[in-house]
Amino acid sequence: MIIQCIFEGIVIGSILALISMGIALIWGVMNVLSFSQGEFLMIGMYLTFFFNKNLGLDPIISIPFTAVIMFALGVLVYKTLIRKALKGPILSQRLITFALSMVLVNGMLMLVTSEFRTIPKVIFTGTVDFGFLVISKEKLVPLMVSVLVTGALFLFMNKTNIGKAIRATSLNKDAEELVGIDTEFSYMLAFGIASAIAGTAGCVLSYYYYITPTVGTSFLLFGLIAVALGGFGSIFGAYIGGLLMGIVDVFAGVYFNTAFKYVAVCALFMLVVSFRPKGLFGK
Amino acid sequence: MLTVEHLCAGYDGTPILHDLSFHVEKGKIMALLGSNGAGKTTALRSVVGKIKPTSGGIIYEGKSIINMPTYKMVELGIAMVPEGRLLFGKMTVADNLRMGSYRVKNKRVIQSKLEEIYEIFPKIKERENQLAETLSGGEQQMVAIARGLMSQPKLLILDEPSLGLAPKIVKEMFDFIKKINQTGLTIIIVEQNAIDTLQFADYAYLMNSGENVLEGTGSELLENEKVKEIYLGIT
């Protein structure tokens, strides 16, 4: 049972990790708190649903399309909203993504109603039974994709020139312009990449999860706490924070009750803050 | 190569530069001297577009660069090594150097430039895979200059390169600056360490309260009574 819980926790945690890495990336690079990350996941889920219903695409196949659309959407949001807000007072910078998230959730509620939807048929179904652990293939897909996306992100940020430029932007904005990196370009890319990752998370989450306009809200809350837990600005910390959140979430739900999971997650966060104010990996 | 005319600039409505003019000739070392708060750094930041001047002109190789964004400066051949070094602390030394040549697209050119720099600074090569923040102050300043050189500049701007360094290291640094100047690079150097700087500068301007009050060749200024009074306490 414990092993089963850990597995389920890692599955949900791997999705949370995708959300929290996006938040950490955006925060690290441009000091914007992205409250709309959960809604990007939700839109990713609806795109997946749309591709599935109208074109018969399996969620896995639609990942590249969804990712590209979400990247474009992220760039558009950056160009039209974030870039402008960054010129304004700090409170606007903090609130703008919150406002965007409200508009997206309620806009979607008007557009598609709060009806729960699911993807009726997916390629990978069935279970693998190890005796001590039953793995459903629908949950294995999100896990694998999350690991791949995370690996790709780390390679991109550490090995490519553009990735290094984005890191340079987060490390020192003054020096970064002096070596010829355009700060706004880095911002735009970071925002686009973070939304593409959230969209991809939406794709694979729809493999076994219901789709509704408010689905992103709880993912955002847990994702934010995961980032704070890992230490703001550290993408690796955000990833570990996400996994941890998932495990705590599942354990609290199974051994106490589902209502308790918010208590458990927030209590864990408070504990970490009181003992390590800068988070587990913050310096 | 670079001419600044009647420049006025400041931060958020607080004027710092009032009427600053200076000129740098190709292949020379030009020093901007002055006490703390004279506006030296503001002058440099205006040249590289970090501050928008309120009036005046900045002409580089015959073209006005006054409203050019900072990130385009390296393409024009202007590299600035900022005060306080501003390395990317959590990146390796090699990555810091590669970031310096971010705008250079040819990988072979980058590699040969990197080797060239390792040849001049063998110490940097030893530290290649260390995080920049773990280096000593002197080594960090070397990396900062090397990062500036990686963009293959025609004009190198150094803001207080001797700041916070031990006297022995400062001497090494100045020797090194002379050496890179001999390769044909034009250099603007801002220093508080005026007497040492005047020994090797071809031309120098003394700034006070946002304007230039004195100018001349290095040796001229060294002989000047006013400079002696300010920097050596001789009257």
pLDDT tens digits along B100-126: 999 988 899 999 999 988 988 888 999
Q: Name every chain A residue with its beta carbon within 8 A of the beta carbon of B72.
A: 180
The residue segments making up the domain with residue A185 are: 2-275
Calculate helix-pair angle for B93-100, B107-120, nearest 10 degrees: 120
Mutate to test the interface with B, among A157, A179, A189, A281 (most CBs of B within 10 A): A179
User: What whole-number distance in Å separates Cα of residue A165 and Cα of residue A180?
Assistant: 10
Mutate to test the interface with A, among B71, B92, B133 (most CBs of A within 10 A): B71
Q: Name the residue facing A182 among B50, B71, B82 (closest C-beta).
A: B71
The predicted pLDDT at position A283 comes to 65
What are the Cα distances from residue A150, in Å, to A13, A20, A239, B37, B148? 13, 11, 8, 48, 33
The predicted pLDDT at position B229 comes to 78
Average pLDDT over residues B42-54: 93
Distance of CA A160 to the CA centre of its chain: 22
Tell me if B71 and A174 make a contact (CB, 8 A cut-off): no
Give yes or no for residue B173 having a pLDDT over 70. yes
Residue B205 backbone phi and psi in degrees, to 5: -120, 135
* Count of Cβ atoms closer than 10 Å to residue B75 Cβ: 12
Q: Name the residue facing A179 among B89, B90, B100 (closest C-beta).
A: B100
Read off the DSSP letter of residue B161. T
Q: Name every chain B residue with its beta carbon within 8 A of the beta carbon of A159.
A: none
Per DSSP bridges, beta strands B29-34 and B186-191 are parallel
Lookup: tokens for B229:
């009074």
Tell me if B88 and A175 make a contact (CB, 8 A cut-off): yes
The predicted pLDDT at position B225 comes to 84
Pick the closest to residue B66 from B153, B152, B5 (CA basis).
B5
CATH number for the domain including A174?
1.10.3470
Query: Is residue A183, in this structure, part of any structural domain at all?
Result: yes
Mutate to test the interface with B, among A158, A160, A167, A178 (most CBs of B within 10 A): A178
The predicted pLDDT at position B231 comes to 75
Q: What is the C-alpha end-to-end distance of chain A, expressed in Å?
A: 36
Lookup: tokens for A234:
């550290």
Lookup: tokens for A143:
């896990």
Q: Name the residue facing B74 among A164, A179, A183 (closest C-beta).
A: A179
* Count of Cβ atoms closer than 10 Å to residue B52 Cβ: 10
Q: Which SS3 state, helix, strand or coil, does residue A258 take?
A: coil
Burial class (CB in 10 A: 0-12, 13-18, 19+), A101: buried
- The long-range contacts involving B116-122, CB below 8 angstroms and separated by at least 24 positions, are B117/B146, B117/B149, B117/B150, B120/B146, B120/B176, B120/B179, B120/B180, B121/B146
User: What whole-number distance in Å separates Cα of residue B17 and Cα of residue B80?
Assistant: 19
Sheet holding B78-81: strands in order across?
A: B63-64, B55-60, B2-11, B14-24, B211-217, B203-208, B29-34, B186-191, B155-159, B78-81
Query: Is residue A283, in this structure, part of any structural domain at all?
Result: no
Q: Name every chain B residue with its beta carbon within 8 A of the beta carbon of A180.
A: 71-75, 102-103, 151
Read off the DSSP letter of residue B82. -
Question: For residue B71, what is the nearest residue in chain A, using CA coordinates?
Answer: A180
Residue B56 forms contact with A (CB below 8 Å): no
**Confidence band of B24 (pLDDT split at 50, 70, 90):** very high
Q: Name the residue facing A178 among B75, B80, B90 (closest C-beta).
A: B80
User: What whole-number distance in Å separates Cα of residue B235 and Cα of residue B229?
Assistant: 5
pLDDT in tens, chain A (283 residues): 889 999 999 999 999 999 999 999 999 999 999 999 999 999 999 999 999 999 999 999 999 999 999 999 999 999 999 999 999 999 999 999 999 999 999 999 999 999 999 998 888 888 888 888 899 988 999 999 999 999 999 999 999 999 999 999 999 988 999 999 999 999 999 999 999 999 999 999 998 899 999 999 989 999 999 999 888 778 899 999 999 999 999 999 888 888 888 888 888 889 988 998 888 887 6
Tell me if A168 and B90 make a contact (CB, 8 A cut-off): no
Nearest Cα of chain A lies from the Cα of B47 at a distance, in angstroms, of: 12
Give yes or no for residue B194 having a pLDDT over 90. no
State the total domains in chain A. Answer: 1
Angle at B191 between CA B118 and CA B174, to 5 degrees: 35
Question: For residue A182, what is the nearest residue in chain B, using CA coordinates?
Answer: B71
User: What whole-number distance in Å separates Cα of residue A279 and Cα of residue A272?
Assistant: 6
Residue B196 forms contact with A (CB below 8 Å): no
- CB burial of B155-183 (b: ≥16 within 10 Å; e: otherwise) equals bbbbbbbbbebeeebbeebbebbeebbee
Query: Is residue A282, in this structure, part of any structural domain at all?
Result: no
Q: List residues of chain A with CB under 8 Å from any CB of chain B.
A: 161, 164-165, 167-168, 171-172, 174-183
Read off the DSSP letter of residue A32. -
Beta bridge partners of B116: none
Nearest Cα of chain A lies from the Cα of B102 at a distance, in angstroms, of: 7
Average pLDDT over residues B138-142: 91
Among the residue ranges B72-76, B84-88, B226-230, the one predicted with the least confidence is B226-230
Q: Name every chain A residue with its beta carbon within 8 A of the beta carbon of B73.
A: 178, 180
CB A212 within 8 A of CB A205: no
CB B169 within 8 A of CB B159: no
Give yes or no for residue B234 having a pLDDT over 70. no
**Confidence band of B233 (pLDDT split at 50, 70, 90):** low
User: What whole-number distance in Å separates Cα of residue A234 and Cα of residue A282?
Assistant: 7
Question: For residue A170, what is the nearest residue in chain B, using CA coordinates?
Answer: B88
Calculate helix-pair angle for A2-30, A215-230, nearest 10 degrees: 80
CB A13 within 8 A of CB A227: no
Query: Looking at the predicted complex, does its ipTM rise above 0.90?
Result: no
Q: Name every chain A residue with its beta carbon within 8 A of the beta carbon of B89.
A: 171-172
Query: Is residue A281, in this structure, part of any structural domain at all?
Result: no
The predicted pLDDT at position A147 comes to 94
Question: For residue B150, what is the nearest residue in chain A, using CA coordinates?
Answer: A179
